[in-house]
Amino acid sequence: MGLLRIIAIVVLIYFAIKFIGRLLAPFLMKKMADKMNDRFQQNYQNQQQYQQQKRKEGEVTVEGKSRKQSKFSDDEGEYVDYEDIKE
């Protein structure tokens, strides 16, 4: 009798937690999404402020692509395709 009572209590607690979790999950998800959105906006604003502070008024800056390094160093030479010819 005691074993059945313990099993029944465990099952009731499991279903109670599951039910409460389903009620609270949308609230918690919305709260997490709002917090992530706030962090994103704050980081974006900080980045914009940093870029504005970095440039002085009247100063001209030229931003371009950086040059890619060659795949081959100068001492390696060039790669030439070839075909084996059977004689």
Give Cβ neighbours of residue 78 (< 8 Å, ≥ 6 apart). Answer: 72
Domain annotation covers residue 25: yes
- State residue 49's pLDDT score: 82
Domain annotation covers residue 8: yes
CA 80, CA 2: separation in Å to the nearest integer? 85
CA 53, CA 45: separation in Å to the nearest integer? 12
Tally of structural domains, the chain: 1
Domain annotation covers residue 32: yes
- State residue 6's pLDDT score: 94
Domain annotation covers residue 20: yes
* 59, 53 Cβ separation under 8 angstroms: no
Give Cβ neighbours of residue 55 (< 8 Å, ≥ 6 apart). Answer: 61
Show contacts of 53-62: CB within 8 Å, 24+ apart. none
pLDDT tens digits along 1-48: 889 999 999 999 999 999 999 999 999 999 999 999 999 999 998 888
Domain annotation covers residue 85: no
| Owning domain of residue 28 | 1-55
Give the global pTM: 0.44
Domain annotation covers residue 10: yes
pLDDT tens digits along 68-85: 666 656 666 666 777 777
